[in-house]
Chains A and B, each alone.
Chain A
Amino acid sequence: MVLALHLSYWQVSALRSVGILAAVLLPAGTFVYLFLFKMVSFMQSRLGPMEAGPFGSMQLLAEVGKFLQKEDIVPERADRKLFKFAPYLVVGTVLLVYLAVPFGPDMWFANLNGGVFYLLAVSSISALGVLIAGWSSANKYALIGGLRAAGQLIAYELPMVLAVIGVVIQAGTMNLAGIVAAQAGGSIFGFDGIGNPYAITQIVGLCIFLVAVQAELGQTPFDMPIAESELVTGYITDYSGLRFMMFFIVEFASAGAFAAVAATLFLGGWTVPAAWADLNSNWFNVIGPIIMLTKMLLIGGLIFFVRFTFPRFREDQLQRLAWTVLIPISLLNILATTVLKVAF
């Protein structure tokens, strides 16, 4: 269906299966190279990787090769089966999150009716993988890290869901393609020159969503689950080789996934405002993913900028922030959105 090319059902399905791997790995790799290797090096007045490839761009492949060669160690007292299974569960969760995000008029993996709801549901499964990883290591640091991670994921899922409800009310649909279309074709008080990106009208929701994402990802200032000064590396302490690399990929792939979700819900996803171009054109199957990646890099840049500039919260401060600040504000936001939706 790309550029008037007609493909049969199995060809489309095969393309989508390959596409989702690209959609998970490309942003993750870009985030690692651009933010972890280069941006933080600049902020800390050092060069970052320079030797492998031009500007050190092949460093990532070298790292992957290094982890692939390392021995995959299972601690003697660990629960072998669950220890080996946990990384797959966490990786699977990220793949499932990407499933519902559209990258163009025909560039989607699954066009679900309850897309937003689906995203929130599958992203909640990762807590399970983290808990299992922490427990099965038979290591007190890992167990405490796993418990902290799960407590954090449960606490911040609520503000996240509540922040998204504002968007759903305003768009009038839970389908992600529908939310994207509502933003591209919308107008703010009759002015439709830039459509209606919910980053403007749902600015409160966007702020709450970004804080909750930072906590769900376990990025600083919410990185207590892997706090190095207290817990070695929390639930990944005992992992090595390939399985460690899977947790590492998940950290960045899920940053990419949440950046994609935030870009879709608040920045208009793969579209430009409908006043600028014909969005049904087949060209948007090619340009759409590029626009999407640009918006994802914007959100990802914000996530990693905060990660490298803020100190860590304490555990009780983290819980208090979620329950006494974010949840009441997001409830008020829903109320205000409902009133305005009915009034206008």
Chain B
Amino acid sequence: MGVLLAAAQNADAPVLVAENLAFGMIAAMMIFAAIRVVSAANIVHAAVYLVLVLAGVAAQFILLGAEFVAITQVLVYIGAIVVLFLFGIMLTKAPMEGEERAGRDNWALGAFTSLLLFGLLGYVLLDGFGRDKLPEALAPTSTGAVSDAIFGGYLIPFEVVSLLLLAALIGAIVIARRD
């Protein structure tokens, strides 16, 4: 609510009430789910809460008009990565009860890393966008514009990332076939 009032006070542009409400509700849901990911006793439950967090990220992308990124988020993270997580958990051990406590010995290191990441990302976002406002009539970014950017101005980072992924892929095959 505070965000809404603050936006209303210094507003040149009209306040997008529905968007702000949606953002707030999704963000609250994401924070709750993210806390449950690290505090859930059962590792499968933690993975399901992780799905909620990732789905929330996709929803936020849609609010920002980034349709392509939102769909990619669902396809890659929910459809592939979490499914592989669950697959791995269930193939190795899948305790029904929470009796086998998930190891939290490194919680201090984890907390430090996430605080550092939070600070870094927060600084980058504030530094990059400051008090910029979203345009009132927010049209979804077309996929063509995204691909033009990737294969135009950002070609070299894109190629570097794909080489990195290729290296990881080959590494995975080498580890898997030790003969």
A114 touching B67, Cβ below 8 Å: yes
Type the 1/0 row for A137-150, where 1 means its CB is closer than 8 Å to any CB of B: 01000010011001
Q: How far is the CA of A82 from the CA of B43 in the complex (A)?
A: 13
B68: CB under 8 A from chain A?
A: yes
Residues A113 and B142 in contact in the complex (CB < 8 Å), given A128-B78, A135-B90: yes
Chain B residues in 8 Å Cβ range of A177: none
A146 touching B67, Cβ below 8 Å: no
Chain A residues in 8 Å Cβ range of B96: 77, 79, 138
A143 touching B90, Cβ below 8 Å: yes
A154 touching B48, Cβ below 8 Å: no
B74: CB under 8 A from chain A?
A: yes
Residues A147 and B78 in contact in the complex (CB < 8 Å), given A82-B48, A112-B67: no
Chain A residues in 8 Å Cβ range of B25: none
Chain B residues in 8 Å Cβ range of A128: 51, 78-79, 82-83, 86
CB closest residue in chain B, given A172: B144
Identify which of A36-44, A45-53, A55-63, A119-127 touches chain B.
A119-127
B79 touching A124, Cβ below 8 Å: yes
Which residue of the partner chain, among B44, B84, B143, contacts A174 with CB atoms under 8 Å?
Answer: B143
Which residue of the partner chain, among A114, A121, A134, contacts B79 with CB atoms under 8 Å?
Answer: A121
Residues A132 and B140 in contact in the complex (CB < 8 Å), given A79-B96, A122-B74, A125-B78: no
By DSSP majority rule, is chain B's interface helix, strand, loop, or mixed? helix
Q: Which of B21-61 contact A (CB under 8 A)?
A: 42, 44-45, 48, 51
Question: Which of the four size classes fits the interface of chain A?
Answer: 20 to 34
Question: Would you give 6 A-B contacts (Cβ < 8 Å), ordered by A?
Answer: A117-B72, A118-B71, A122-B74, A131-B90, A153-B83, A154-B80
Listed in ascending order, the chain B residues whose CB lies under 8 Å from chain A are 42, 44-45, 48, 51, 67-68, 71-72, 74-75, 78-80, 82-84, 86-87, 90-91, 94, 96, 140, 142-143
Listed in ascending order, the chain A residues whose CB lies under 8 Å from chain B are 77, 79, 82, 112-114, 117-118, 120-122, 124-125, 127-128, 131-132, 134-135, 138, 143, 146-147, 150-151, 153-154, 157, 174
Top 6 A-B pairs, shortest CB-CB distance: A124-B79, A121-B75, A121-B74, A121-B71, A127-B83, A131-B86
